[in-house]
Amino acid sequence: MANEKSSVTIYTDGAAEPNPGPGGYGIVLMAGKHRKELSGGFRLTTNNRMELMGVIVALEALSKPCLVNLYSDSKYVVETVQRGSVLRWQKNRWMRSPGQPVKNVDLWKRYLEASARHSIRFHWVKGHAGVAENERCDELAVAAIQQYDLADDQGYLTDPSSSRSLNPQLATRVSRPIPLNPGPAVEPSEGAPCRKCTENLVKKTPKPKARKPGQTYFYEWYLFCPGCGTMYMVNEAKRSID
- What residues act catalytically? 13-14, 51, 73, 128, 138
Report d(CA 56, CA 110) in Å as an integer: 7
The answer to whether 29 and 60 are in contact (CB under 8 A) is no
What is the per-residue burial (b if ≥16 Cβ within 10 Å, else e) of 67-100?
ebbbbbbbebbbebbeeeebeebeeeeeeeeeee
- DSSP for 146-197? TSSSPBP-HHHHT-HHHHHT--HHHHHHHHSPPPSS--SPPPP-TTPBPTTT
Report d(CA 58, CA 114) in Å as an integer: 9
Closest CA to 124 of 51, 67, 59: 51
